[in-house]
Structure 1
Amino acid sequence: MTDTLTRRRSTEEIARSRPAWQRRLTSDRAARLTFYVVAFLFWIALAGLFERIPGPPSVVDSLVEEFRRGEVFGNFADTFYRFGIGVALSVGVGILVGVVIGLSPMARAFLESPVLVGLSIPAIMWAFLTVMWFGFGHTSPIVTTFLTAVPFVILNVAQGVQGVSRDLRDMSSSYGVPLGRRVRELVLPAVAGYVVAGLRFAVIMGWNGVLLAEWFGGSGGAGYRARFWYDANQFAGFAAWVVLFVGVIIILDQLLLERLSRRMFRWRDATH
């Protein structure tokens, strides 16, 4: 333990001894910025090589026009409504089922295969199925989001529960601590970081699910609007909505979920 702390301290001292400009160039923020610049230049190169790939100027014009028409906020409001309900349901059900699988070998044997099947089915298949089952409207995007996201939450929570010290679980059981109290005061605090990791997966996968469901069977929403421009053979308008999709998920992941994940795992490490 002492050797580990010494090595960690030495690494941090070496990092602090480097010049400020070198630390900035090798930081996580610099790496992300470099990726965005390279991706933007790659986009410009593709637009120059292929006529049917719209370049940044035409995409920006389409974005401005969509904002001017008032299409962006209204369609994203529909999408976020469906997405929010689907993710909330997936997190609630995922935590419940994940805790049951982690605590009960019988439940794990019974539910492990359905969870693996859910993980193997892509979002596009759920989108097709839910549109067939529920038709157009809010229901199919919500159900697609839920079915796409919930296996990832279950898997993360179940792994977290199985990682809880068996000695602590056996001791609490031996002393007759009620099951509800054991889950509330021992299991859930220990798996908080895994819940956040599952939430992160749920948001990313659920976002794909809701957009695909709106694409194939939505009566409105961001995916529906992107399909509108695709069917109209207006690829600049379609690319404008793709840029919005990517921008929204990056904002959700980097500004909200990643910070929440770092904070929860920092709390877990400090507790250990």
Structure 2
Amino acid sequence: MDLLKVDTDKCLRCGICVDCCPSCILNLGENGPECHFDRGCMSCGQCVAICPVGALDNKYAPLAEQRPVTMPVLKPETAYEFLRMRRSVRNFKPVPPTDEDLMRLLDVARYAPTAGNSQGLYYVVIRDAEKIKAIAEAVANWMEDEVAAGTENKRYFMTVLRAYRERGQDIIARHAPCLVFALARRLNITGVSNAEQSWAYAELFAPTIGLGTTIAGFIQSCGIAGYRPLLDLVGVPAKQNIVGTLMVGYPKYKYKRMPERQHLKIEFR
């Protein structure tokens, strides 16, 4: 099968699929859309998804695997309130999330946009309490190395270390019952941004299944820096990098209000 298969009886020759191809590899021929550079296809499925009559098939994004859009667009007021309700959860019940809830959470995350439809994220879930403690300790050790080296984060890390070392507060892992690490191949230069989008989807979906989340910024930064003791604890394969870390658990408390943010700063030119 060639890249594209067109049902010429259905095709309207409208050219919408050509206009919507992110890679600009389609043109409108006499019998419908044609591809002039198959290897340029990013397998995003946009051409198939946009066809108003279902006349197009793509071997990398088959029509048979695409679900029809049936959900109405949310009202602006509903969407606004839903987005504002999201909170970063740092206080968790001690019980770790179930396999089922984690699978649902990460299944949604894989639909987040990725640069060039690169996708390619691999998730490692850690629920062992002792290993999570060891991870927090490794990150604290990394921070101490950064302080000793006089890096630009020295003053900030000193504040974190005072809370963690002197006051015994787990400001690093927050006693989270579960950490999820996003890994990407070293050659994937957009791995970090892909993970950020993945976490955005996960964080918005989490409350619908009773989960709370927040990005584990200190652990994530340590992982992205390639700190070997952390990589070894997580079990990162040689050809992959840590590109993101998310804390996940069942919230200990329920937020009653939505905090305000800085006023909108915008300039039209």
Which of 1 and 2 has higher RCO (CA within 8 Å, sep 6+)?
1
TM-score, with structure 2 as normaliser: 0.24
What is the TM-score of this pair, normalised by structure 1?
Answer: 0.24
Q: Which has the higher helix share?
A: 1
Which of the two has greater strand per residue?
2
